[in-house]
Amino acid sequence: MSWSAAAAERPLAPFGRRRGTVLARGSVGAYIVLAVDDPAGSSHPPDPGQFYMLASVDRWGAGDGERPFLPRALSVLRARDGVLQFMLEDVGPGTRRLCELATGDELWLTGPLGAGFRSTDRTPVLVGGGVGTAPLAILQDTIAASAGIGPAGGGGDPPLALVGFRDADHADGAALLREAQIATDDGSVGHHGRVTDLLEPLWDDPIELYACGPPAMLEAVRRLAVDHDTPAQLALESPMACGYGACYGCVVATRDGYKRVCLDGPVFAAAELEAVG
């Protein structure tokens, strides 16, 4: 396979959690992007679609009234030369604490975990929503590199990326991808409507969809893919307690019974799923 291994050949995480240091903190619209030094994990670079369990070393359930106690599962945005990047949005106590981290602060890292995207012979189309943009960035980079497309576009065009956001502030997250087409709920940027509307001209082409985003968006992609007999790979977002399959807290219904998002996924074939959400 050219750019992503099969699930059985996935990169395996080093045993146990390890410390990483925040090298840089930036903002992209409503989102925070952290660059984290991970020298201990440099020999286990992630596949696109894999994730890490993150927790801050300080102020993470260690004192009176401190929350949360469980690490948070985050898809990797990019991974280069022992440095990991993550895209975050403050949506609760765990992500709020992670968003507060500054250069020099430390994180607990476990990963890479799960099964990522798999390559096929069809033309890839990336579909994302919100922080679901993150795994599409590393995927777009990886596909482009395998095709000899440079960062500045030399050698051809990057894989088509379609991304949806609620408003203009969140739509700034599209800058993490190259040449992305944008849809917004309020029409403030790009297409006024759902990101799945942007798929309409593509159904007759030999494409394969690679999607990550909120459950409602993924369910819409799943239904459309099935209706149009188009293969699709969906990276599911799910709260997780352990990240490696021990707790069975993140199961999803498939046509072969319940499976664990953290171990059997997070990437599943659309045709394999009963529904998302």
Q: What is the CA radius of gyration of the chain?
A: 18
Beta-carbon count within 10 A of 142 CB: 22
Confidence check: pLDDT of 122 > 60: yes
Task: Give the count of alpha carbons within 13 A of 251, CB side only.
Answer: 11
Beta strand residue intervals within the chain, DSSP E:
18-28, 31-37, 51-56, 72-75, 78-80, 83-88, 106-113, 123-129, 160-165, 181-184, 191-192, 207-212, 232-235, 251-254, 257-260, 267-269
Beta-carbon count within 10 A of 157 CB: 11
Structure tokens at 247: 């707790």
For residues 106-113, give the mean pLDDT: 95
Identity at 125, one-letter amino acid code: V
Q: pTM for the complete prediction?
A: 0.93
pLDDT tens column, 259-276 = 999 999 999 999 999 999
Confidence check: pLDDT of 62 > 90: no
> How sure is the predictor about 65, in pLDDT bands with cuts at 50, 70 and 90?
low
pLDDT tens column, 222-252 = 999 999 999 999 999 888 888 888 888 899 9
For residues 155-166, give the mean pLDDT: 91
Residue 1: predicted pLDDT: 38
Q: Is 91 left (phi over 0), alpha (psi -120 to 50) or beta?
A: alpha
Confidence check: pLDDT of 189 > 70: yes
| Integer CA distances (angstroms), 13 to 207, 225, 259, in order | 31, 32, 20
Closest CA to 20 of 6, 9, 36, 32: 36
Confidence check: pLDDT of 2 > 70: no
H-only helix segments in 63-157? 93-100, 133-146
Confidence check: pLDDT of 7 > 70: no
d(CA 73, CA 262): 9
Question: For the chain, what percent of residues have pLDDT higher than 90?
Answer: 76
Q: Are 31 and 165 in contact (CB under 8 A)?
A: no
For residues 110-123, give the mean pLDDT: 94
63 versus 7: the higher-pLDDT residue is 63
d(CA 254, CA 257): 5
Contacts of 198 (CB under 8 A, 6+ apart): 162, 181, 183, 191
Residue that the structure tokens 């903190």 belong to: 25
Confidence check: pLDDT of 88 > 70: yes
Residue that the structure tokens 């095709």 belong to: 147
Supply the mean pLDDT for the chain: 91
Torsion angles phi and psi, residue 168, rounded to 5: -65, -40
- Are 7-113 and 123-272 the same fold in CATH? no
The residues spanned by each domain of the chain are 7-113, 123-272
Residue 87: predicted pLDDT: 98
Closest CA to 37 of 72, 71, 80: 80
Q: Are 16 and 92 in contact (CB under 8 A)?
A: no
pLDDT tens column, 191-208 = 999 999 999 999 999 999
For residues 62-89, give the mean pLDDT: 87
CATH fold group of domain 123-272: Rossmann fold (3.40.50)
Q: Environment class of residue 223 by beta-carbon count within 10 Å: exposed (0-12), middle (13-18) or buried (19+)?
A: middle
Residue 207: predicted pLDDT: 97
CATH of domain 7-113: 2.40.30.10
